[in-house]
A and B are shown apart, each in its own frame.
Chain A
Amino acid sequence: MATSPRTTKFKLPTLAAKSAARMGHPHASSSRVSAPVTEPGRFGVYGGRYVPETLMAALEELEREYNKAKLDRKFQARLEELLRTYAGRPTPLFFARRLTQKLGGAKIYLKREDLLHTGAHKINNCLGQGLLVERMGKHRVIAETGAGQHGVATATVCALLGFECVVYMGTEDMRRQELNVFRMRLLGADVRGVDSGSRTLKDAINEAMRDWVTNVRATHYLLGSVLGAHPYPTMVRDFHRVIGREARAQILKAEGKLPAAIIACVGGGSNAIGIFYDFLNDKKVRLIGVEAGGRGDALGDHAARFRGGSPGVLQGTYSYVLQDSGGQIALTHSVSAGLDYPSIGPEHAALRDSGRAEYVPASDAEALEATTLLARTEGIIPALESAHAVAEVLKRAPKMKKSEIVIVNISGRGDKDIGIMRENLKIDR
């Protein structure tokens, strides 16, 4: 019989780290906030590369190509040009005068990612990965989508660059976001419904991974958030860093000082990490991520991973996961398809444990209320995802000083959600 093994240095997260994380204690391994990556693909203990062997070579190839592209001036110049002339960057930083007056506290600025081509920040990452696909000489692109924004952005970039495009989408999400389904098809994408599990984003990712495992040699998986196996969380974050880089310069120009807080919604967390990243070293800027509080606190009624979740591995990465006692992944709920996911980007898990960023939930009802308020005070209808961030500013701004500034990332516009808003808000007759 074997002897009991001693506990030494852990490659996989230790039980101690796990329970510390669960209890909300920052743990030692991610104390350096400005450089949270401890090794490529690791954010503190989180991240990594947990995929079937068949995909490992493709991930290694992608990492190599991405590292080369990062240093390639031509690649960067082409991406910059497409972001400017095609996507519509830079996006404005807009002072929300009436909302500020109404709340009576901090000055509120909105980072208008909703004004980008295709209606959300997702296009930043799709253009970046699209150019990588070209470099790698692949011609077929697959993607998952929840709300449909990433699917639309992927279909758009595939049309622009001439790739075959397949988008996997849960049938529940297809029902919720039928306009985006049509939009993708109009752009030439093959939208395939996924009828397993909760029929939402998680299940679409499973199906995309199965496609990738099967067709890996000629196909690129254009993952839409800071999720999945390394290098995705790092690469997707880098493609969205432009949001924070612009916002930082814009607020310094407009106000001559940094904001007291930045608020963004967090599904996988790509828009949030994008706007947070260039502020990480500005220790006085509070970084606040807003998760989907759904319709209640019970497992299955929300997607607030930092409330009800614990560290685990889902779809390639080690992060906080909503799961049961046997390690099965829980079902989730949110009025917003883009936030309806049981795990969160691993870098957010590290930022949360280190205390550099804080994460709070906003409920379905709060998000819907925030939607109406922003529509009526500023004439901006946010995506339901972004409305979660707006809901948090409604709670927080009144308690802040008038001299303080808060930036809210309006990651997408609400056109795609009009049907759900109409169903839930009951304001027309």
Chain B
Amino acid sequence: MPLTFYKKPALVVYVTCGDPNLATTREIVLAAIAAGADVIELGVPFSDPVADGPVIQRASERALKHSTSLGQVLTLAAEIRQHAQSTGLIVFSYLNPVLRMGMDRFCKVARAAGVDGALITDLPVEEAAEYLRVMRAYDLSPIFLAAPTSPDDRLQRIADASRGFIYAISRTGVTGQRQQLAGDARKLVRRLRRFTKLPIALGFGISTAEQFTEMGAFADAVVVGSAIVETVERNSGREAIAVREFVEELLAVTPQLAATSN
């Protein structure tokens, strides 16, 4: 199914699957959807998350303590899909677990689970030929990162390879919250626009309703990750309720309009 943003700015919510356990992740995701999340990124925990800051590192460690696997994340995706037909579901993973499962099997199982696309953090477009071929064969959207450091020729290649949306990184650095988001973000979205008509989602460091408003003014969607994961961490025993409240709070200030062009 096509990945669609029905609202603008749309909200993309990232969760680390298996933190604190898969049953709770399911509740968290359904709560986020009920509160207004448009797309869910199902984070696959990895032992060596080089692109992630301390919050997601800790969550990954907790999830791996009980051996949360890519296979289990895909099973979880299928369960969520049964309850949420129109929400976008993205698998967010490092490459090695996907390689280990096998590219073809990954795509086949993801497709059957009702997943819409995938983002592989450490797979740049140059190395993605085979991945792209298999993803497209299964009608899955490959989503790539675009960074403030990516020169125009790279943005072009990223735009050409992406389907669904493009994930623009608001600033250099790992995932995690920041007080101030540099002018990097606005500049990147403007540059990226020249190469694509796909929706652009801005992520990394966005944790407050004010930042959601600020970023949502020039991006099609905003990704909130570490702040969600930290909410889960801080609210042991009432994770889903806390995430629901947090998402409602994020969306309270900004009017979301119907998305016009996708």
Which positions in A face B, CB cutoff 8 Å? 1-5, 8, 10-12, 15, 48-58, 196-197, 202-203, 206, 209-210, 213-217, 311-316, 321, 323, 325-329
Contacts and interface: CB of A to CB of B under 8 A. Distances in A.
B101 interface: yes
Contacts of A314: 48, 96
Question: Interface size for chain B: under 10, 10 to 19, 20 to 34, or 35 or more residues?
Answer: 35 or more
Of listed B47, B99, B121, residue having the most chain A CB within 10 A: B47
Given A12-B99, A51-B122, A316-B122, A2 B174 contact: no
A51 B127 CA distance: 10
Contacts of B64: 328
Contact of A48 (B71, B104, B127, B158): B127
Interface of B: 46-53, 57, 61, 64, 67, 69-71, 94-104, 107-108, 111, 121-124, 126-131, 133-134, 137-139, 144-151, 154, 158, 169, 172-174
Contact of B48 (A51, A214, A329): A329
Contacts of A53: 124, 144-147, 149-150, 154, 158, 169
Given A313-B95, A327-B70, A329-B96, A202 B147 contact: no
A327 B96 contact: yes
B172 A54 contact: yes
B122 A52 contact: yes
Contacts of B103: 12
A50 B122 contact: yes
B18 to A, nearest CB: 11
Contacts of A311: 99
A56 B100 contact: no
A206 B52 CA distance: 10
B134 A57 contact: no
Contact of B101 (A2, A313, A327): A327
Contacts of A10: 130
Contacts of A51: 50, 122, 124
Contacts of B96: 312-314, 321, 323, 327-329
Contact of A326 (B69, B123, B127): B69
Contact of B137 (A2, A196, A209): A2
A213 B172 contact: yes
Contact of B71 (A52, A54, A326): A326
A213 B174 contact: yes
B172 to A, nearest CB: 5
Contact of B97 (A1, A49, A52, A326): A326
Nearest to A11: B129
A214 B50 contact: no
Nearest to A57: B149
Contacts of A4: 104, 108, 137
A2 B50 contact: no
Contacts of A5: 104, 107, 133-134, 137-138
User: A-B pairs with the 6 shortest C-beta distances?
Assistant: A327-B100, A5-B137, A11-B129, A327-B97, A214-B173, A54-B147
Contacts of A213: 50-51, 172-174
Contacts of A203: 48
Contacts of A56: 124, 126, 147, 149-150, 154
Contacts of A315: 48, 50
B149 A216 contact: yes
24 contacts: A1-B111, A4-B137, A10-B130, A11-B127, A11-B128, A12-B103, A49-B126, A50-B122, A51-B124, A52-B51, A53-B158, A54-B145, A54-B149, A55-B149, A206-B49, A213-B51, A214-B173, A215-B172, A313-B99, A315-B48, A323-B96, A326-B69, A327-B100, A329-B96
Given A3-B137, A54-B169, A326-B69, 14 more contacts: A2-B111, A8-B133, A15-B102, A49-B126, A50-B95, A52-B122, A52-B124, A53-B145, A53-B158, A54-B172, A196-B57, A196-B61, A326-B100, A328-B96
A196 B96 CA distance: 19
A11 B130 contact: yes
Contacts of A54: 51, 145, 147-150, 169, 172-173
A327 B173 CA distance: 25
Contact of B50 (A1, A11, A57, A206): A206
A214 B172 contact: yes
A48 B108 CA distance: 26
